[in-house]
Structure 1
Amino acid sequence: MTVAVPVLPSQQLAALNETYRAAMMRKRIRFALASAIFVAALMIAAIGAEVSPGTFVAKIGNFVSYFDRIATLESGARVWSDIGEWFWGWQKWLTLLGETILISYVGTLAGAILAFALNFLAADNTSPAPWLRFAVKRLMEFCRTVPDIVFALIFVMAFGLGPMAGVLAIMIHSVGALGKLYSEIVENIDMKPVEGVRSTGASWISCMWFAVVPQIAAGFASYTLLRFEINVRGASVMGFVGAGGIGQELVVAIRKFYYSDVSAILLMIVVTVFVIDIGTGWVRGRLFGKDVRA
């Protein structure tokens, strides 16, 4: 069956083409203007931050040479040529790495429990009072705005060197970060179950437990696992200020120029983070009923 395709009159077609070209020209001008503004803002920011491309080019060799040094043993051989010499302190480092994981675990768990308790007060659709919502949101903002390593330094000064400072720092920062994520999940739930439970005369706590928690449990668990993975990396750095874990040994190796020790410790941290990333990713996938591919 033949279908006739209507052809517009030449004048009408020319007008449509002209309108299309004008629209495309305006789009290109807007894109070029936005690009120019972005580049100008980037250059101004780079100047303000004293970012010098010349310095980067001149000093890039130091960066490369440092990685060359940490891949070399005291004998001058490459680290992979003598694994025993490279990982001479693996037992001590593994113990400290386990301490780092425990710091992250305890801090994340404690922070998640507190964030779970506070997020219902911060969510717009579940908070019992506007003033309470405002206060809790500001508290969580403070907890996540101050870097965790700053909290660790404060707690080291207060409680002394050791894992306790790291646990408290991770806990407080996790309260702010997880509380924000949790409250956003709660704000997107279906409120009909809440209204149904409330209509029975149930208390606010009962409404949260029976109507809200079943809807958000998987999301909460997923974000908590992700936060644990992030906190393992954070705990590795907190050792720099004496908050326990593998970071203390790493900063000693850096300061004393034990180059091969630096690479060995870094490799252990990286492998640990990889394993935790794959493990938590698998668990998150199982929670949501999806197959996870590494």
Structure 2
Amino acid sequence: MRSTDDNLRTFRPIGLPFLLPIREFRIRVHWEGFESATDTVTERLGIIYQHLDPLTLQRLFIFYHDLEEELPIAHINLFRNIKYLSIKLINVTSPLSLAPLSLPVLEDLLLTMPPGTQETLLQEMECPKLMYISLDGNDNWTSTPIVISDSTLEWLDSLRWMTRDLRWEITSLPNLRTLSLREVRSIRCGDFCVHMIYRPEDFPSLVEIDFGDFPEWDLLILFLERRNFLPSSKVAKLRELTLPTFVGPVLAYTLTELLKGRLSFRPSNQELSIASLASSYWDSSW
């Protein structure tokens, strides 16, 4: 079932049964002109949510437009059987006051909101079964780096970033198997490769990476060599690498062999570096 209401001031759940036994619910909320918008919207959302059966609802999609003060998390926490949750906040103008998100069987979470708000929600959530997180954001939003810790996301299996200007303070996620940097700029992809060269044990279960932009080739190959030829059996070998476009035959062969766990001839680190590429275009003697 899909429900969209762009004007909560006129919404009245007249004639609805006490509980709607539905598995999926979508709501888009846009408001303007309220003297106290937050109280009004929170109150009316509560009326809507009261008519959804918390025992049957499994997928919830919420789109709040022009939210300024508070996200009514308390209403969401009523639905204890939700397995998929999508929250989109557009045109947020001030920090949000958030109650902890507490959903005991939530498995998949999509957050589209400013990074600072994402971090607040991620650090305080109580979702012990959460395995998949997608984080989206507007490139105009600025923030301090986001910290994602295994203290609250112990069983996280997949993490997907969908913002170009990534701000991520990399920590340890011991059960993460899949990482997608699909929309992330090249320099941030390179930062992750550097981290993995020095600290491969921070992601011991990682086997798949999707890069949205090319990292520096020397960093990528050093990362794969370090990862796939560690003497420690506690760190899984990387098996799948996704790059945005076609790779030349020499590099394609090298990358394929490394992913298969075999060392092969490759260009030197100097030949692969940005400095080498720049020297073919500019006279370095100047």
User: What TM-score bracket applies, with the shorter chain setting the length?
Assistant: under 0.3
Higher strand share: 2
The alignment's TM-score, normalised by the length of structure 1, stands at: 0.20
Select the structure of larger CA radius of gyration.
1
Higher helix share: 1
Of structures 1 and 2, the one with the larger relative CO (CA 8 A, separation 6+) is: 1
